[in-house]
């Protein structure tokens, strides 16, 4: 596993830290106003998805690997709704904000 403080991209590092600490305000402050996301290829409402899949259900990421300058992660993701699964995450970053998140099962 890769410790969160060892993730290459500072914005992605902050997102993972916000997820793992359950810090909803920090997470949403990292998103660009027009940020979008997909989950297993389907577009989702990013705010609703994050509330349900991360914050209400106590989401947690354990990063296995990173690539693409830290913008692509493979992680064990768990929450109270689905249990644990191996997931892939792709982040598009603009400045210090997340513009897009694509996630799904790895």
Percent of the residues in the chain that have a pLDDT greater than 70, as a whole number: 100
Report the pLDDT value the prediction gives residue 93, as an integer from 0 to 100: 98
83-89 long-range contacts (CB < 8 A, ≥24 apart) are 87/61, 89/61
Report the pLDDT value the prediction gives residue 88, as an integer from 0 to 100: 98
- Domain spans of the chain? 4-105
Q: Is the dihedral of CA 40, 41, 47, 48 positive or negative?
A: negative
Confidence of residue 103 (pLDDT cuts 50, 70, 90): very high
Percent of the residues in the chain that have a pLDDT greater than 90, as a whole number: 100
Tokens 């899949």 correspond to: 53
Q: What is the CATH number of domain 4-105?
A: 3.10.450.50
Per residue in 7-45, pLDDT (tens digit) is 999 999 999 999 999 999 999 999 999 999 999 999 999
Q: Which two tokens stand for residue 74?
A: 């493979």
């Amino acid at each position: 596993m890769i410790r969160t403080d060892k993730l290459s991209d500072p914005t992605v590092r902050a997102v993972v830290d916000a997820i793992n600490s359950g810090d909803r305000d920090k997470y949403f402050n990292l998103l660009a106003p027009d940020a979008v996301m997909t989950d297993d290829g389907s577009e989702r409402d990013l705010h609703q998805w994050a509330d349900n899949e991360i914050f209400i259900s106590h989401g947690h990421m354990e990063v296995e690997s990173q690539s693409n300058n830290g913008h692509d992660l493979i992680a064990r993701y768990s929450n109270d709704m689905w249990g644990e699964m191996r997931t892939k995450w792709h982040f598009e970053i603009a400045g210090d904000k997340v513009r897009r998140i694509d996630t799904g099962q790895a």
